[in-house]
Amino acid sequence: MRGRNVRNELTTKALGWPGLPSTTRMMALLCLGLVLAGNPGRLLAAGEKATWLEAGSEIQQLPGDGVQKIRVVATKEPPYMGPDLPGQGLSATIVRTALERAGFAVVVAFERWPRAYEGAELGVYDVVGSIWRTERRAQDFLFSVPYLHHEIKFIKLKSSRDIQFDSLDDLDGLIVGTLKGYAYDNAFLRSRKFIRLPQNHLLQNLLKLAQGEIDLTLGEVLKIDYELNEFMKGSVGSMEILAKPLVSRTTHIAVSRSHPRHREIIDGFNQALSAMQEDGTYDGILTIR
């Protein structure tokens, strides 16, 4: 992940500015810390006052009521996460409901992925609200049980009738639109049978597919459906999602292993999620979405 480099790049710049006296460099580092901590007033919901004064991994107490406020960071990924979605999205609704049942008051902030990952790792945020588990990430974070399951599938133009997917051999010689930093299957990432053309957003790949600039792209099925119906309705009928997934993934919350209460947060979430699944709350959230 490039996320780890965000801190390194910023710190190197602060320490390495030529010609700056040591006192000035110290002030630069102080300002850097404030930048990484973010602007609490911006992160809170409209009208809600910030209740923490500085960045750190300690959970702050809300004045007078003893409720613990927990800071969840997420990346905009509709229909799962987004500040303008009902309930801030499907994933946000599940996560918030479970954490509130576990006794936390939840504040959700939205950041770009590298900043979200780095912020949670540093303790600026308490929880990553939506993340796929990898062995590398598990070195830094403790993961919850999965709360959603995803299938990553290819999508093509219906006119490309000769393109099918059963194995990576079927991609031989094709141009495939991918996403930067996406946790694809390792064999897919290493293969030299086809050309990977990376972009920042799925919508960019879908547009390139519609214009015939790539042969295939791929993504999570509900995400593909959302992007097409929201931004490319005229192209829905000309595209086809292939049946076999490249990979299936599970979505989790995660808390930095350096957080003093990481085990408590994850255990509380897991127990609350299990209760939601038993009493019908979880299925109810899926139904209304």
d(CA 261, CA 279): 27
**If we measure between CA atoms, which residue out of 104, 124, 99, 132 comes closest to residue 254?**
132
Residues 229-252 have a mean pLDDT of 95
CA-to-CA separations, 109 to 70, 75, 251, 255, in angstroms, rounded: 11, 8, 18, 15
Mean model confidence pLDDT for the chain:
82
Pairing of strands 148-157, 195-199: unpaired
The pLDDT tens digits for 63-75 are 445 678 999 999 9
Predicted model pTM: 0.71
The pLDDT tens digits for 83-126 are 999 999 999 999 999 999 999 999 999 999 889 999 999 999 99
* Fold annotation for 150-249: D-Maltodextrin-Binding Protein; domain 2 (3.40.190)
* DSSP E strands, the chain: 68-74, 104-110, 127-132, 141-143, 148-157, 175-179, 195-199, 216-220, 239-256
d(CA 34, CA 53): 10
The pLDDT tens digits for 15-40 are 343 344 444 444 444 444 444 443 33
pLDDT surpassing 60 at residue 240: yes
What pLDDT score does 289 carry? 59
What pLDDT score does 65 carry? 58
What pLDDT score does 223 carry? 94
The CATH superfamily label for domain 38-148+251-288 reads Periplasmic binding protein-like II (3.40.190.10)
- CATH 3.40.190.10 residue ranges for the chain: 38-148+251-288, 150-249
d(CA 220, CA 96): 22
What pLDDT score does 109 carry? 96
Greater model confidence, 54 or 138: 138
Cα of 127 vs its chain's centroid, Å: 11
